[in-house]
């Protein structure tokens, strides 16, 4: 299914002394279909449910999409599906990865013209690294790591690989750094007091709450620290680690069980943008000072409520230059089945624009990123005719993002 993005309404918020002016605009129709589209990848098997995981725009201008899926087979964890598209989102090839592997996690890791991703061995839940040939769609095992339950991974700006794991027996979260050849450099453990094993298994099995695990880096020229969002002590907690030695240096605490940081991005120096949820409500702060070497709490700063968002919404944020503007962008979904984009000035931390993309059926954001053309793309789970979970890729042109 392919829909042009003509129902993408712009809401411009311009503050004049004590008043707010809001305007709406509908996009024109004369646009290259490869610049802007919303494409749903349907499947005739009604028993299959797709859960998008991550995506990357490939050098040819198309996209590589990583997803997992469940079917009627007796498999505890979801299996893995890959899709390669052309520039306009059309399907080029698809690969149903061998059932030996399951529960792929973010993120896709570029390696030359190909990509890696991390998943589990379906039998023993150990970590496996698979390589994808973007030309043919062939998938092969690249490395095997004995650590259990992988939850998230990134490739940093220096080429090092960071992987977050969970050890159920020892009740610890583990952050490890690897070389591009997946040789371990250091490993850092975070103890967990509560028994969260069932919650993490349900997260990976896509049968329970989806927790906002993520990893990021701090530093503009040289990486000084990493941050990781994972279980620690009694709660989901944002933790900082020294990038060179892998020592735990700082902590940002949240509240008890029903709270967590949902996204974070480093802006410059000690300034970060983040979002969080607490008792199902969602909050953002486009500029907060966090010391990677200190213990802090979310009660130390003031943030802003977004009551229109879905309870405990999936939120992603990034720091980018869009249409020559230095911005922090948040992406999420609303209670009324809309995808939402919030644009803040990175220098002044003021809200510049809010845009809503109207969806007919329930949506859940999986990932979003800049495109090579200077726009944004969002990977979304949607429900065809309100019933069947499918993959939806939305691409927005720079023109769509003007305000």
**Which tens digit of pLDDT belongs to each residue from 233-289?**
989 999 999 999 999 999 999 876 689 999 999 999 999 999 999 988 999 999 999
What's the pLDDT band for 1 if we cut at 50, 70, 90?
Answer: low
More confident residue, 32 or 387: 387
Q: CA 324, CA 173: separation in Å to the nearest integer?
A: 40
Sheet holding 126-132, edge to edge: 101-111, 114-121, 126-132, 139-148
- For the domain made up of 38-306+379-401, the CATH class stated in words is mainly beta
Q: How many helices (H) and strands (E) does the chain have?
A: 1, 33
Q: So where are the chain's domains? A: 38-306+379-401
Instruction: Report percent pLDDT > 70 for the chain.
Output: 92
**Quick one: which of 86, 66, 70 has its CA closest to 78?**
70
- What is the reported pTM? 0.92
pLDDT reading at 19 higher than 90: no
pLDDT attached to residue 29: 53
């Amino acid at each position: 299914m392919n829909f042009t993005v003509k129902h993408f309404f712009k809401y411009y918020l311009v503050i004049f002394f004590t008043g707010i002016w809001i305007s709406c605009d509908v996009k024109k129709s004369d646009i290259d279909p490869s610049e802007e589209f919303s494409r749903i990848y349907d499947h005739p098997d009604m028993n299959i449910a797709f859960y998008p995981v991550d995506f990357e725009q490939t050098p040819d201008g198309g996209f590589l999409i990583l997803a997992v899926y469940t079917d009627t087979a007796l498999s505890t964890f979801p299996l893995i599906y890959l899709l390669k598209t052309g520039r306009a989102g059309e399907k080029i090839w698809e690969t149903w990865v061998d059932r030996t592997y399951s529960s792929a996690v973010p993120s896709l890791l570029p390696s030359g013209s190909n990509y890696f991703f991390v998943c589990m061995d379906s039998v023993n839940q150990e970590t496996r690294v698979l390589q994808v040939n973007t030309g043919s769609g062939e998938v092969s095992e690249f490395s095997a790591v004995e650590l259990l339950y992988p939850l998230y991974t990134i490739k940093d700006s220096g080429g090092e690989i960071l992987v977050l794991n969970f050890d159920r027996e020892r009740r610890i979260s583990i952050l490890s750094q690897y070389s591009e050849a997946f040789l371990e450099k250091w490993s850092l453990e975070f103890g967990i007091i509560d028994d969260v094993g069932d919650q993490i298994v349900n997260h990976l099995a896509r049968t329970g709450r989806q927790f906002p695990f993520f990893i990021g880096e701090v530093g503009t020229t040289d990486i000084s620290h990493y941050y990781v969002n994972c279980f620690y002590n009694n709660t989901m907690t944002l933790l900082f680690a020294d990038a060179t030695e892998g020592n735990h240096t700082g902590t940002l605490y949240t509240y008890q069980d029903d709270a967590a940081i949902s996204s974070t991005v480093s802006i410059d120096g000690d300034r970060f943008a983040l979002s969080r949820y607490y008792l199902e409500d969602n909050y953002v702060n486009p500029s907060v000072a966090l010391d990677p070497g200190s213990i802090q709490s979310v009660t130390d700063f003031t943030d802003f409520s977004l009551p229109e968002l879905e309870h405990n919404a999936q939120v992603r944020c990034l720091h980018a230059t869009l249409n020559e503007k230095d911005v922090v962008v948040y992406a999420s979904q609303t209670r009324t089945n809309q995808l939402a984009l919030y644009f803040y000035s990175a220098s002044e931390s003021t809200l510049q624009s809010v845009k809503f993309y109207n969806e007919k059926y329930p949506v859940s954001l999986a990932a979003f990123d800049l495109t090579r053309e200077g726009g944004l793309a969002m990977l979304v789970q949607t429900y065809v005719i309100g019933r069947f979970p499918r993959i939806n890729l939305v691409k927005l042109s720079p023109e769509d993002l003007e305000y």
